[in-house]
Structure 1
Amino acid sequence: MTEQPQPQILIVDDARDIREPLGQYLRKQGYRTQLAANAGEARRLLDETRISLVVLDIMMPGEDGLSLCRWLVAHDGPPVILLTAMTEETDRIVGLELGADDYVTKPFNPRELLARIKAVLRRMPEPQAAAPTDRRRFAGWTHDPATRTLGHDDGRTVELTSGENRLLAIFTDHPLSVLSRARLLDLTAGRDAKAYDRAIDNAVSRLRRKIEDDPAAPVLIVTEWGGGYMLAAEVTPA
């Protein structure tokens, strides 16, 4: 049996005294690492190398970490852990809303970052579950999982990331049923997923921004306090 290679971590930070020692530390822990001083170098490495996870500094000259994080999520890139300063609370919130998986504040203990890397990698589905291919209709929307698109009766078309596509497929499989955060995480990420409420909350928030008329007052994907989330619409085959 061929042994699987260790995950490869991409560290993106313009501070050499952070990225190089961190790279050495992670290599000592058995990980492979790639280092990038800016977003441009990171994009090149992402094109050339199979990256398992990105450790990404928010504050960088040129294209900042939030912009790169947005691009990674839109293109179904690897999971992201943000490196932020203690004073960057707003940026941390924005990063999580964009789809970052976790964050660590500077200055940080490498052991804490290592623990968070392990936790995020454990949550990654392997292999990734395929979304169903049948088209569904709900509340004027038609979901086509095969093309990862949503079309509305008024002519609007929305493209979904693979994660949003799987999440919506789960909601349309269980309409009018309350799904707990733990259940949603299990269905989207597989049996080895660990409970991680914030990841599900962020995914639901991104999906709401694409399908709700007012994401701040959702009527399609509603929150059941203490329970989870529910697709509050009838679903029929398209």
Structure 2
Amino acid sequence: MSQHDLPSPRVAVVEDEDELRGLIVEELSERGYDVVGLASAEALYRHMSVQALDIVVLDIGLPGESGLGVASHLRQLASVGIILLTGRGGKKLMAQSFAVGADLFLTKPVDYDVLAVAVANLHRRLAPAMNGASSDDPRAVVWSLSDAGWTLHGPDARTLALSEAERTILARLLEQPGIPVSRTALIDVLTDQPWDFDPHRLDVLVHRLRGKVNSRFSQPLPLRAVRGIGYVFAP
């Protein structure tokens, strides 16, 4: 697949310095990328709960949760490209960045041409993983629901009967695979009285569902927790 065959990457620039964030967003937007600027880790998590991203450009020195911490959590999603920016160089910080899952490590002041090329190359390299395995690939694992959502299909052509709560959770997550769904949204579909619902019950339901799937299928259910948001179905 050539670069010209790929859709424009969806990029988030997470930088707390307003002027620098605006400059990076402007430079990448002028090169045809779909870019959003965000000032904190919390803003990024909220954005990802409603919009998928291909690449995240992260400042390491964010207020609150650092860029290193954010990168570690994003890596749980597997298909997101991560570029870390820092005003402090050094081999130790670079090693830490790669250890938590960063794909690239760039130092400030930002060379916009270098960053733009890095985004394009990273997007092209990650495109096969983002698009999933080919349907002709016998190793591909397709998870789906049938029987109005009461039956889960997974690896090895096996099936699993679901409880009403399990069916409800999976149906909501499978509406947008790869996009985190907030805990509030999941609780809202589980009950018509969310104010009386103990949030810990959601974690218990997910834990039991994973256990049932692990005992039935040859591969674990790709249902992952996303800290500060909720859960994501990320095959």
TM-score, normalised with respect to structure 1? 0.53
In structure 1, C-alpha distance between the alignment counterparts of 2:64 and 2:55, rounded to whole Å: 22
Do the aligned partners of 1:131 and 1:146 also contact (CA within 8 Å) in 2? no
Task: Tell whether 2:22 aligns with 1:20.
Answer: yes
In structure 2, C-alpha distance between the alignment counterparts of 1:116 and 1:4, rounded to whole Å: 15
Which stretches in structure 1 are left out of the alignment for 5+ residues? 135-142, 150-160, 164-238
Within 5 Å, give how 1:80-229 maps onto structure 2: 80-124=82-126, 125=128, 127-129=131-133, 131=140, 133=155, 144-147=218-221
Query: Is the alpha carbon distance of 1:144 and 1:70 closer, same or farther for their aligned partners in structure 2, counting shifts above 3 Å?
Result: farther
In structure 1, C-alpha distance between the alignment counterparts of 2:234 and 2:91, rounded to whole Å: 28
In structure 2, C-alpha distance between the alignment counterparts of 1:39 and 1:15, rounded to whole Å: 13
CA deviations over 1:125-164 (Å, ceiling 9, x no partner): 1521264646xxxxxxxx9435369xxxxxxxxxxx979x
Which of 48, 68, 71 matches 1:69?
71
In structure 2, C-alpha distance between the alignment counterparts of 1:94 and 1:40, rounded to whole Å: 22
Aligned residue-pair number: 143
Do the aligned partners of 2:89 and 2:107 also contact (CA within 8 Å) in 1? no
Within 5 Å, give how 1:4-43 maps onto structure 2: 5-43=7-45
User: Identity of aligned pairs, percent?
Assistant: 27
In structure 2, C-alpha distance between the alignment counterparts of 1:106 and 1:83, rounded to whole Å: 7
SS across alignment from 2:70:
helix
In structure 2, C-alpha distance between the alignment counterparts of 1:50 and 1:162, rounded to whole Å: 12
CA-based RMSD: 2.8
Query: Is the alpha carbon distance of 1:74 and 1:4 closer, same or farther for their aligned partners in structure 2, counting shifts above 3 Å?
Result: closer
Normalized per residue, which structure has more helix? 2
SS across alignment from 1:99:
coil
Query: Is the alpha carbon distance of 1:7 and 1:60 closer, same or farther for their aligned partners in structure 2, counting shifts above 3 Å?
Result: same
Q: Could you tell me which amino acid in structure 2 is paired with residue 30 of structure 1?
A: G
1:46 — aligned with what?
48
Do the aligned partners of 1:131 and 1:145 also contact (CA within 8 Å) in 2? no
In structure 2, C-alpha distance between the alignment counterparts of 1:45 and 1:162, rounded to whole Å: 17
In structure 1, C-alpha distance between the alignment counterparts of 2:221 and 2:50, rounded to whole Å: 26
Cα offset, 1:91, TM superposition? 2.5
Q: Could you tell me which amino acid in structure 2 is paired with residue 147 of structure 1?
A: L
1:193 — aligned with what?
none
* Runs of 4+ with >6 A deviation: none
In structure 2, C-alpha distance between the alignment counterparts of 1:87 and 1:101, rounded to whole Å: 16
In structure 2, C-alpha distance between the alignment counterparts of 1:67 and 1:113, rounded to whole Å: 21
Cα offset, 1:108, TM superposition? 2.2
Q: Comparing both chains, which one has the higher relative contact order based on Cα–Cα distances under 8 Å and sequence gaps of 6 or more? A: 2
Query: Is the alpha carbon distance of 1:54 and 1:127 closer, same or farther for their aligned partners in structure 2, counting shifts above 3 Å?
Result: same
Q: Could you tell me which amino acid in structure 1 is paired with residue 84 of structure 2?
A: L
